[in-house]
């Protein structure tokens, strides 16, 4: 059943999929809290959405890799007199490199944002949703969650965590008015590849596999409305998701190693 969320907090709203979530949610009638590091980008988007949709749009510039993002955000949201009933944990990034050649620093930040902040924010905002018997959490995982991702191994592992966590919480909270949805996109045309220093990966992705952020987000919101647990956007990505279920893990890892090592 479709329902409207009064106030959505979207992380990673300064570009790509997060910015489109903000646009589509404002168009559906939600007020917004936009979170990312680049304040200028968030302010520009916020102004555009206020003018286009007449919604309240707040900006909170924050580095989610720093300690205690959940506590800090919850305090700031409370100070502004808002209550979040839809949390979109979208902020995240990948890294494409040989594990031994890349230092730990980038992996540490990736784990902090993709896993740590997502989990902390869920802890921070879920209790009020449970109490109200109304709310939802959308976690952006990836098709990378379905199999090991050699040369992006840490990224793949973070997304496997997001998928597993979300499925678990979906089952824990079903029937209590709070929905959980894991979104597992294949390649989406956003600045993600450049942020992952993986522009070459973008070049070899077959065109029919590359989706727009608009299609991913509209599909995700429709999936949330029907209380889906996992949403995999696009036929090609759904098809690609079958292979990991059929192959032995060793063969799967070796095959992925050949695919990723271009």
Ligand X SMILES: NC(=O)c1ccc[n+]([C@@H]2O[C@H](COP(=O)([O-])OP(=O)(O)OC[C@H]3O[C@@H](n4cnc5c(N)ncnc54)[C@H](OP(=O)(O)O)[C@@H]3O)[C@@H](O)[C@H]2O)c1
Catalytically active residues are 155
Q: Cβ distance 165 to 119 under 8 Å?
A: yes
Dihedral (C-alpha) 117, 119, 124, 130: value to the nearest 10 degrees? 150
The four Cα atoms 126, 131, 136, 137 give a dihedral, to 10 degrees, of 10
Beta carbon nearer to ligand X, 58 or 177: 58
Decide: is 88 part of the binding site for ligand X (CB under 6 A).
no
CA pair distance 156, 103, nearest whole angstrom: 17
Q: How far is the CB of 48 from ligand X (least distance, A)?
A: 15
Q: How far is the CB of 113 from ligand X (least distance, A)?
A: 5
Instruction: Determine the interface stretch with ligand X among 49-57, 172-180, 188-196, 243-251 (rule: CB under 6 A).
Output: 188-196
Q: How far apart are CA 147 and CA 123, in angstroms?
A: 27
* CA 107-244-260 angle, 5° bins: 50
Out of 93, 161, 170, 231, the only residue in the binding site for ligand X (CB under 6 A) is 93
Query: Applying CB under 6 A, does 40 fall inside the site for ligand X?
Result: no
Alpha-helical (H) ranges within 104-152 are 104-111, 118-132
17 interacts with ligand X by CB under 6 A: yes
Using CB under 6 A as the binding rule, whether residue 113 contacts ligand X is answered as: yes
If one asks whether residue 46 binds ligand X (CB under 6 A), the answer comes out as no
CB closer to ligand X out of 130 and 230:
230
Closest CA to 49 of 10, 78, 80, 79: 10
Stretch that binds ligand X, among 61-69, 127-135, 230-238, 242-250 (CB under 6 A): 61-69
Applying CB under 6 A, among 5, 8, 9, 18 the residue interacting with ligand X is 18
Q: In whole angstroms, give the CA distance from residue 18 to residue 220.
A: 12
Question: Residue numbers of the site for ligand X (CB under 6 A)?
Answer: 12, 14-18, 36-38, 63-65, 90-94, 113, 140, 142, 185, 187-188, 190-192, 195
């Amino acid at each position: 059943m479709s329902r409207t969320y009064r106030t959505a907090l979207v992380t990673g709203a300064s570009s790509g999929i997060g910015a489109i979530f903000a646009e589509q949610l404002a168009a559906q009638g939600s007020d917004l809290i936009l979170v990312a590091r680049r304040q200028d980008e968030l302010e520009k988007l916020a102004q555009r959405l206020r003018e286009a949709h007449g919604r309240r749009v707040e900006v909170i510039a924050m580095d989610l890799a720093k300690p205690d993002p959940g506590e800090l955000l919850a305090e700031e949201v409370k100070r502004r007199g808002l209550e979040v009933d839809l949390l979109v944990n979208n902020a995240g990034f990948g890294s494409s490199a040989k594990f031994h050649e890349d230092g730990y620093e980038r992996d540490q930040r990736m784990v902090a944002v993709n896993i740590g902040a997502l989990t902390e924010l869920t802890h921070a905002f879920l209790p009020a949703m449970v109490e109200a018997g109304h709310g939802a959490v959308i976690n952006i995982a990836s098709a990378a969650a379905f199999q090991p991702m050699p040369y992006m191994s840490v990224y793949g592992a973070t997304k496997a965590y997001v998928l597993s966590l979300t499925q678990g919480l979906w089952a824990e909270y079903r029937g209590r008015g709070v929905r959980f949805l894991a979104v597992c996109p294949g390649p989406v045309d956003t600045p993600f590849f450049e942020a992952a220093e993986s522009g070459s990966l973008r070049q070899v992705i077959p065109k029919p596999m590359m989706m727009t952020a608009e299609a991913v987000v509209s599909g995700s919101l429709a999936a949330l409305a029907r209380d889906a647990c996992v949403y995999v956007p696009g036929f090609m990505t759904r098809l690609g998701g079958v292979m990991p279920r059929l192959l032995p893990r060793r063969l799967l890892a070796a095959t992925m190693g050949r695919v990723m090592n271009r």
